[in-house]
Each structure stands twice: as C-alpha cells, then as structure tokens.
C-alpha cells in the first residue's frame, strides 16, 4: 500500500474540493457543469479562451487552414479502429492509420490510442476556434464510440457476427485478443479424426492458429493458416516443436476470402485438404489425438506458444468427426453446408456459429460441448478503464526495472493523450459523456496507483520510455478542478518524481542524458500542482528547470534535444545532427513557458514563446495540403543540408499529434489579461481579434507580421478602462515606438520588457500603432562562437543549399551604423524575407519547404572590411575566437559615423597595445573606417 498522505495535503484537498462544484454525469450529451477549467487564484494574469480570439489573414491563419482541412476531411472511424478492435466490436471495415497507431507499426503498436487523443484535442480546438459544426460532429462520433468501447470492455466478449460461407460467421477482429475455448473432452480420445473448418483470414501474420489443442508448448496439435513459408500447416507432437509430425500446404490462403481447411488422420496416414483438394499427405505418422490424452487448452484462434499472434479473421462451420472422412465427403463441403452434406455434422463437436448476443457458442453435435468466447488477457476490464489495448501494459510496468518499449511503451503517456482529448472535447462541446469517460479513467488510475508502494511509483516514473507519462498531471489537475473529486487531486500527486523535483528545486542540473520530452511536460503538471496545493517546491522546480533548458540546451529556432535526449549544459555545436529539436519538445516548452508567465510576468517567457512558435513550430508544418497525413516533422535536423521529413515513421507519431494541436491554437497566447482586468497584455504581434466580453470591447490587430515590422491595434465595440502592456522583444532596437491615435506615448521602451500604455478609457475607433524595426543579427552557439544562426527580427533565416558542409559567411562587410548586418545581404525581389549571401538564398525557417537547409553557418571574416572597403589587413582574433571586427561592432548602435570611427580608433589602439595588431596595419584600419560610407 502507498504511505498515507499527509494531514496537510488531505486538508488542502478537502478545502479545494469544497470550493469546486461536484459533477453528475448523464448518459448522453449535455452540460453537467460549466465547461471551463476554473482559473487558479495563483495566476496573476489569465488567458482568454480560444473562442474569444479570432485569427485574421496572415502567416498563422494560412498554416492553420492546412490543418483545419485535414481535420475536416479525415475519417475518424480509422482512429477508432484500434479501440473498437480491442473491445471486440465491429470496426466497420475501417483501416487503422498505420505507423504508431496500429498493430503493424513500431513495437507492434504498443502506443496505439495516443494519436486518437491528439486528434480529439485538435478537433476540439478547431471547433472552439471556428465554431464549424463539422468538428463538433466528429467529436460526438468519437466520444460516442469510446463510450461504447468502455462498456464493451466491462463485459465478457460477445460473438461478432459477419457474413459467413453459409449464413452467419464469427469474426476475430485483429487486436481483440479473442479466441474460442472448447471443452476438454472435445477430441474424446479418438485415434481417427477429421477436423473441418471454413476460414477467412484478414491478416498475413505467420503462425496464426486456426485451432490448437494442447497443454503447453510440448504436447499439442495445431492448424495454422500460414507457417514460416506462408502456407497452411498441420502438426502434432508430444515432444515440442522438434518432434512435430506435420502436413504443409502448397500455396498461401487468400486474405478476406473464404477457404475450407480439413485434416484427416487414420492409422499412419494424415492428409491436409484445402478447398476440397488434398494438398499434403503423410503416410508415416505415429501420432494421433488419442496419444495426446485429455488436453486443457482446446482453442480456436489461440496458440499454446505465447508469442504467436492470435488469429485474425472469421470462422464458419467447425466440425470434428471421430473418423477420417473420405475425399468425396470433404469435397462435398464446397457446395453444401455440413448438415446438408454427405458427411453431416461432426459427431464429436459441431459449431456453425449461429448468431448470438452472448459469448457462448452452441455445439450441434449432440454432445452439449458448448464453447466460450474469451480474451487472452482475461476480463472484463476494471471500472473506468479505457484504452486501445488491454490493461496488461499497465500491469507489466509495475514490475519492470528497466525500459523495454517492445513490451511496455509508455501506457500512462497514452492514457494522458486520451484523457486530454476527452477533457478538451468536453470543454469544447459540453458533452457530459466525454467528462464521464475522463473522470472514469482517473478513477481507474487512482484505484490502481494508490495501492502501490511509493518506492514502486518512483521506480516506474524514472524508467525511460516505459514509464513516461507526458503531461498527465496537468490534465488530471484540470479535471479535478471540474469534478472536485479529492481522489483526482491525490492521483495527480502519485506522479511525483521526487528525485527530479528535489534536484530542480535545489537548482541542481541533472538533465544531461535524460530524455527531453519525457520530462518537459512533467513540469507543466507540477506547476498546476502548485496551483492546487500551494506547495512551493513544484513551482520553484519548474522555474529552475526552464532555465536549465533555455538557453542552455536551446537551438536558435527554440527547439531542444538530440535524438530525443539532452546532452551536457551549454553544448550546442557539439550536438548538431540530423535528429535535433524533436517537435514535441517545442510544443511542451511553449506550454511550460506560458504556464510560468501566468505566475511571474518575466518577459523572457514570452520572448521564448515567440521564438519557438514563429520558427520551429511553424516550420515543422509543411506548406502543403494532405488528406492522409498532418505533415509535421518529428526531428528538425540542424546539420548542414538537412531536408525536413514531414511524414516521419509512417505517420501518427507523437510529434504529428502535438503538431496537429499546435496548428489549431496559434491564438492562445496573443492576449492575456491582468487577473483583475486592469490591463491587457499583447504578447504576440499577430493578426488576431480579441472579443473581450467582460469589458464589452474588441481589440483587433491588423498586421502582416513578421513580413510587417509592427502592428496596428484598433479598439472596437463600447468603451472600457484598462492599461495596455505591449511586449518589447529582447531583439528590438531603440526605435521601438508606440503611438495612440497618432500621438507618441511617452517613455523609453527597453528591449526584453513590456511597455505600458497607461490606463485610460478606450473608445471604439482608438488606434494604437506599434513600430518594431527589424535588424539582422546573429546568435552564437554557446560552445563555439564561430557557429552562428541568423535572425532578422524574430525570424530565423536559413540558407537553402545542398552542401553538407557548413557554409562560410561574412556579414560585417556592409554593416550599418545601427549594427544591422542586413546591408551585407541582397533582397530577393518579390519574396519577402528572402535574401542572398555568397550565392546562397536565405529564407525564413517558418516556411515548410523540402529544400536542404543550413540553420547554422560558420562565421568567417578573414579581412577587415568596413563600409564595403577592404583595408587589406587580416582580421586578428583573440584566443577565445573574438576578432577585431567583433569587438568593433559590439559597440553598435553608433549615433553617427564619427562614433563608429571613434570605436575603431579605441579598439585598434587596445589591440596594438596588446600586441595583437601591428601599428601600421592598425593605421590602415582607422583610415579605412574614416574614408568608408555606412548605411544607417
């Protein structure tokens, strides 16, 4: 049992539960309580709902439309296929999406169900953002199906009737883990025998048993649709696989088509028939069913070898006879059902699968040997359980000491995606069925995890991959604020990974070697636990953790991780590869940054938000429509010449799931409000209109940012008093300007801050103009200053070049007095934000192209060139790599040419004095500076 929760925690839980209204659930749609997550009192600023902010035309809307079209057109029954199959329900012929969302993908589909949760969240956000009914209809279909699935998992399996060879037949849906259990006396000790059955296999996996009668993997007889060679095989043995006496077919059985199989044994002769024709005969058989004795495992569809797949397909007319039928009798089955054939029904057993609503299959032989439909994992599932695979992964995790994703692949991570999708569905559509499903999942998790010792929980959550649980804590706390169930808050705390929390709370960096996306979303959950419990260590740990990643392990685009893992603090150039910046990491860092900003309005959080959203997140979505795939990257390689892969791992990965979500909530952090409504934060410059219903006004931005260097904000509706806080990006220069109705607002905006337009009564038609001039600048890799990435304002510019070596770039040649490096580049006509340098085109990272790109370049300034004039002097460098030109331009911006010349003179003098530059060469540099012409 888990150790008792502290009295303090229980009191907190009780107080919070008392403050939250209880929830009752109805069987159908309809609101149980207000479909919102109550805003925590700990948030000093608060977001608006997606429905309150409308995207206007522009970069974000264009990207979003591609995903909206994908969500509108995709058949959600394909996503539901794995859930319905697991519950033994009809899949309606739907084909699972593939990749990680099916049985044939990586690790045999051990993550299936996760993508369905992402898709539900995407649809929910799409509906909240657009109000288009098509998304609500798809949500309702999915929630209804999942409700049916949970109910089916709570019962014993039932016959799934399909059209058979002769009327009805039973189907074993692939992924249902179902089989037919026959009584022990079915073979009756017969020495001579005939086994006859119609099969329609739906999958081509080898070693699927049509039947297997045995005790274990030593003593048995079986018939498979495909052996290792892909053809039917019958075998009988009393000494394991090495002692098998067998009969092999000559051709593969067709899929999704009825075939008749029969085996006869009489004396020493065994014969295998396929569709009435003898295809194999063995006249030297010494084994027959009588030597096997009474067997315990008499199965249709299941093997006595645990690693063999369960039969996928349909059965019709299984008959067992205590004699070897003649060839003519077996051939007669081709044109007659058994009861009308020359052979008649089997005298040992006869199942012709007449339709039933139960799991009991009647025996028509007269012996009363009714069979029972069962699941290999037993059942029914426990109350509240909902997944696309059995509870077995959750159970196995509890005894694991190291990760093995081929056995257990992050079941609580998958549970999180489903839980989050259901909660989002409820919040978007008020369908209480979704809330009931989500609440039930948490009830089930609590009933399981609360019984485990704390040491077991700590071990589980520390296991790479298998123990990954994603952002489940955040979602459970959000659900708790709606349900008010104390068990739900207690459940959230059961995911505490104390070694991680304690280290980060102490600001001890232990991230080297950890799996990045396993840990980032954990902290968003811990921030919510702080909100719910007041325990400061959660928030402190999250803040410190953020600082260990940004900028210490951050690439210029805002991404992090190499091949999903973190390396040592401060190592950037040493980790550049084809597997950088897993897209999920950016998604979750955005969520964490946003969450931390609610508690502390440090502009660094929203600076990062803009960086990652505008560059990595937008750039991870291909600028192309596709009905089948969302076209989102998994990794974004930063190695020279990397080409982005928008269909990774056959689709349906974690990153494609978060990519779908990102693309339908671009507006979620454009505006925040002070908790008391006294101020409006404008965090992102984006064409987006806020309907601030509490104030009775609208606030609309008109901008083509980042193609436009600023934004126009117009107030509409009525009148309201509030201050306006405008984010001044950390990269912004001294020319950041704000006017209200054409009049400049006094004050000096500071880069990396919020500039406040003091509170006033705003009226319809008031216009605020924000001007944010861009400069071209570089950011240097922390561990190699010569490796740099280019930014024009917020936009990361990448070279499009097929070379697989770093491009060598010089940028000071025509630098302006402001320090702007842009004059060294040449604009491309008709292509905003596109430039050429050294014969290579540089374009915004956010463009989702398939061009080979260079995110980082090798900075090379071999000669001292000022204002386009070459001094003829080599550019010297200090031992740390800093060059003379670096030191000169570090003084920018310069008020005028004189200030620049003065900087050159003082820098040259210092370098000559240090013996780093000769006197004569120093004079050449100064003279060049004096004679050159500079751009502003």
Supply the CATH number for residue 726's domain. 2.60.40
Residues 196 and 106 in one domain: no
If you average pLDDT over residues 877-886, what whole number do you get? 94
Kindly state whether residue 622 falls inside one of the protein's structural domains.
no
Tell me: do 699 and 762 sit in the same domain.
yes
Q: What is the mean pLDDT of residues 340-345?
A: 96
Please tell me the predicted confidence (pLDDT) of residue 356: 79
Sort 470 into a burial class: Cβ within 10 Å, 0-12 / 13-18 / 19+: buried
Of the pLDDT bands very low, low, confident and very high (cuts 50, 70, 90), residue 379 is confident
pLDDT in tens, 145-172: 999 999 999 999 999 999 999 989 999 9
- The per-residue pLDDT for range 694-748, each reduced to its tens digit, is 999 999 999 999 999 999 999 999 999 999 999 999 999 889 999 999 999 999 9
What pLDDT score does 295 carry?
A: 96
Mean pLDDT of the chain: 95
Q: Name the band, by pLDDT with cuts 50, 70 and 90, for residue 10.
A: very low
What single string gives the DSSP state of each residue in 593-623?
A: HHHHHHH---HHHHHHHHHIIIIIIHHTB-S
Say whether pLDDT at 474 is over 70. Answer: yes
Quick one: 324 and 210 in the same domain?
A: yes
Which of 18-27, 288-297, 526-535, 593-602 has the lowest average pLDDT?
18-27
Domain of 267, CATH number, reads 2.60.120.200
pLDDT tens per residue across span 141-152? 999 999 999 999
Give 54's strand partners: 689
Residues of the chain above pLDDT 90, percent: 93
Kindly state whether residues 343 and 267 are assigned to the same domain.
Answer: yes
The predicted pLDDT at position 20 comes to 40
pLDDT exceeds cutoff 60 at 16: no
User: Is 204 in the same domain as 117?
Assistant: no
Residue that terminates a domain, selected from 739, 771, 803: 771
436 belongs to a structural domain: yes
* pLDDT over 70, % of the chain: 96
> Is residue 630 a part of any domain in this protein?
no
Q: Report whether pLDDT(23) > 80.
A: no
One domain for residues 756 and 885: no
Mark whether 224 and 91 lie in a shared domain.
no
Residue 460 lies in a domain: yes
State residue 5's pLDDT score: 40
Helix (H, G, I), strand (E, B) or coil at 837: strand
459 shares its domain with 519 = yes
- Is pLDDT of 783 > 60? yes
- Assign 776 a pLDDT band (cuts: 50, 70, 90): very high
Residue 606 reports pLDDT greater than 50 = yes
Asked if the model's pLDDT at residue 919 lies above 90, the reply is: yes
Cα dihedral 266, 268, 271, 272 sign: positive
Residue 642 counted as domain residue: no
What is the reported pLDDT for 378? 85
For the cut 70, the answer to whether the pLDDT of residue 8 exceeds it is: no
Selected residue with higher pLDDT from 353 and 822: 822
Residues 240 and 202 reside in one and the same domain: yes
Distance CA(545)–CA(120), nearest Å, equals: 30
Read off the pLDDT of each residue in 164-187 and give the average, rounded to a whole number: 95
Residue 466 contacts residue 408 (beta carbons within 8 Å): yes
Domain membership of residue 353 (yes or no) is yes
The pLDDT of residue 111: 97
- pLDDT for the residue numbered 36: 87
CB atoms inside a 10 Å sphere around CB 16:
18
Helices and strands in the chain, H and E counts: 23, 39
- Give the pLDDT confidence score for residue 734 in this predicted structure: 85
- Among 375, 407, 439, which residue terminates a domain? 375
Question: Do 213 and 108 share a structural domain?
Answer: no
Q: Are 409 and 350 contained in the same domain?
A: no
CA angle (662 as vertex; 660, 667 as ends), nearest 5: 130
Q: Are 850 and 843 in contact (CB under 8 A)?
A: no
**Domain finish residue from 348, 375, 402:** 375
* Residue 556 clears pLDDT 80, i.e. is over it: yes
Range of 183's domain? 161-375
Tally of structural domains, the chain? 4
Coil vs helix vs strand at 55: strand
Same domain, 407 and 354: no
Q: 389-419: per-residue pLDDT in tens?
A: 999 999 999 999 999 999 999 999 999 999 9
| Assigned domain for 609 exists | no
Look at residue 33 and tell me whether its pLDDT is greater than 60.
no
- Alpha helix ranges (H) inside 30-158: 59-73, 76-86, 114-130, 133-153
Query: Is 612 a member of any domain?
Result: no
């Amino acid at each position: 049992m888990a150790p008792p929760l502290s009295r303090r925690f229980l009191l907190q839980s009780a107080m919070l539960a008392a403050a939250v209204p209880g929830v009752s659930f109805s069987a159908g749609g309809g609101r149980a309580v207000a479909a919102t997550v109550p805003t925590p009192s700990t948030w000093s600023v608060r977001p608006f709902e997606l429905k309150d902010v409308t995207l206007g035309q522009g970069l974000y809307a264009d990207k979003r439309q591609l995903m909206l079209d994908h969500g509108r057109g995709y058949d959600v029954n394909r996503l539901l296929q794995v859930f319905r199959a697991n519950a033994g329900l009809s899949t309606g012929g739907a084909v699972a999406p593939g990749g990680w969302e099916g049985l044939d993908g990586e690790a045999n589909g051990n993550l299936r169900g996760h993508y369905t949760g992402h898709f539900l969240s995407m649809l929910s956000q799409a509906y909240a953002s657009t109000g288009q009914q098509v998304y609500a209809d798809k949500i309702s279909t999915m929630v209804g199906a999942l409700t049916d699935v949970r109910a089916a998992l709570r019962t014993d399996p039932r016959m799934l009737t399909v059209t058979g060879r002769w009327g009805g037949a039973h189907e074993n849906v692939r992924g249902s883990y179902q089989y037919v259990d026959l009584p022990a006396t079915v073979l009756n000790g017969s020495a001579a025998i005939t086994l006859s059955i119609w099969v329609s296999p739906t999958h081509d996996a080898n070693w699927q048993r049509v039947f297997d009668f045995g005790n274990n993997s030593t003593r048995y007889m079986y018939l498979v649709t495909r052996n290792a060679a892909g053809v039917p095989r019958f075998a009988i043995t009393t000494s394991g696989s090495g002692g098998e006496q067998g009969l092999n077919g000559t051709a593969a059985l067709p899929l999704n088509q009825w075939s008749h199989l029969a085996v006869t044994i009489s004396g020493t002769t065994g014969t295998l028939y396929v569709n009435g024709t003898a295809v194999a005969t063995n006249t030297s058989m010494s084994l027959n069913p009588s030597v096997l004795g009474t067997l315990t495992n008499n199965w249709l569809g299941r093997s006595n070898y645990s690693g063999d797949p369960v039969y996928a397909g349909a059965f019709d007319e299984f008959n067992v006879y205590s004699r070897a039928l003649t060839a003519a009798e077996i051939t007669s089955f081709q044109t007659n059902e058994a009861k009308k054939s020359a052979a008649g029904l089997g005298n040992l057993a006869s199942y012709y699968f007449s339709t039933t609503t139960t799991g009991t299959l009647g025996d028509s032989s007269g012996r009363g040997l009714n069979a029972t439909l069962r699941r290999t994992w037993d059942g029914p599932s426990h109350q509240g359980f909902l997944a696309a695979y059995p509870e077995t992964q959750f159970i196995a995790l509890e005894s694991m000491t190291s990760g093995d994703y081929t056995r257990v692949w992050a079941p609580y991570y998958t549970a999180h995606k489903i839980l989050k999708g259901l909660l989002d569905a409820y919040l978007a559509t008020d369908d209480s069925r979704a809330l009931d499903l989500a609440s039930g999942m948490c009830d089930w998790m609590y009933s399981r995890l609360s019984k485990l010792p704390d040491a077991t929980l700590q071990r589980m959550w520390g296991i790479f991959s298998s123990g990954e649980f994603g952002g489940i804590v955040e979602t459970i706390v959000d659900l708790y604020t709606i349900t008010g169930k104390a068990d739900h808050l207690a459940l959230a705390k059961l995911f505490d990974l104390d070694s991680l929390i304690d280290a980060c709370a102490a600001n001890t960096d232990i991230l080297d070697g950890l799996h990045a996306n396993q840990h980032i979303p954990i902290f968003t959950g811990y921030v919510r636990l702080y909100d719910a419990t007041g325990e400061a260590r959660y928030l402190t740990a999250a803040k410190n953790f953020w600082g260990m990643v940004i900028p210490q392990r951050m690439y210029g685009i805002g991404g992090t991780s190499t091949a999903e893992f973190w390396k040592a603090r401060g190592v950037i150039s040493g980790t550049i590869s084809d597997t950088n910046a897993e897209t999920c990491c950016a998604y979750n860092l955005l969520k964490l940054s946003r969450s931390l900003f609610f508690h502390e309005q440090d502009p660094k959080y929203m600076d990062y938000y803009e960086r990652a959203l505008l560059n990595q997140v937008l750039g991870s979505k291909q600028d192309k429509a596709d009905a089948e795939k969302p076209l989102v990257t998994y990794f974004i390689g930063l190695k020279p010449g990397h080409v982005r892969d928008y269909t990774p791992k056959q689709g349906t990965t974690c990153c494609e799931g978060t990519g779908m979500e990102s693309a339908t909530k671009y507006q979620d952090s454009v505006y925040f409000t002070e908790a008391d409504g006294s101020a409006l934060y404008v965090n992102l410059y984006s064409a987006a209109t806020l309907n601030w219903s509490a104030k009775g006004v609208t606030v609309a931005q008109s901008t083509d940012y980042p193609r436009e260097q600023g934004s126009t904000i117009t107030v509409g509706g009525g009148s309201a008093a509030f201050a306006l806080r405008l984010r001044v990006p950390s990269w912004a220069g001294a020319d950041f300007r704000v006017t209200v109705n054409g009049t400049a607002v006094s004050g000096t905006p500071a880069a990396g801050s919020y500039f406040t337009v003091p509170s006033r009564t705003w009226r319809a038609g008031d216009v605020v103009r924000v001007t944010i001039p861009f400069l071209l600048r570089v950011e240097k890799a922390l561990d190699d200053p010569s490796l740099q990435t280019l930014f024009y304002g917020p936009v990361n510019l990448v070279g499009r070049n097929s070379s697989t070596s770093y491009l060598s770039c010089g940028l000071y040649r025509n630098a302006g007095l402001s320090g702007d490096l842009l004059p060294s580049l040449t604009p491309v006509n008709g292509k905003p934000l596109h430039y050429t340098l050294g014969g290579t085109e540089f374009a915004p990272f956010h463009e989702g192209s398939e061009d080979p790109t260079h995110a980082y370049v090798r900075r090379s300034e071999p000669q001292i060139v000022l204002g386009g004039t070459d001094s003829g002097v080599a550019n010297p460098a200090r031992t740390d790599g800093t060059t003379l030109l670096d030191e000169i331009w570090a003084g920018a911006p310069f008020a005028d040419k004189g200030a620049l010349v003065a900087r050159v003179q003082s820098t040259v003098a210092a370098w000559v004095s240090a013996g780093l530059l000769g006197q004569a060469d120093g004079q050449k540099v100064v003279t060049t500076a004096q004679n050159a012409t500079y751009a502003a």
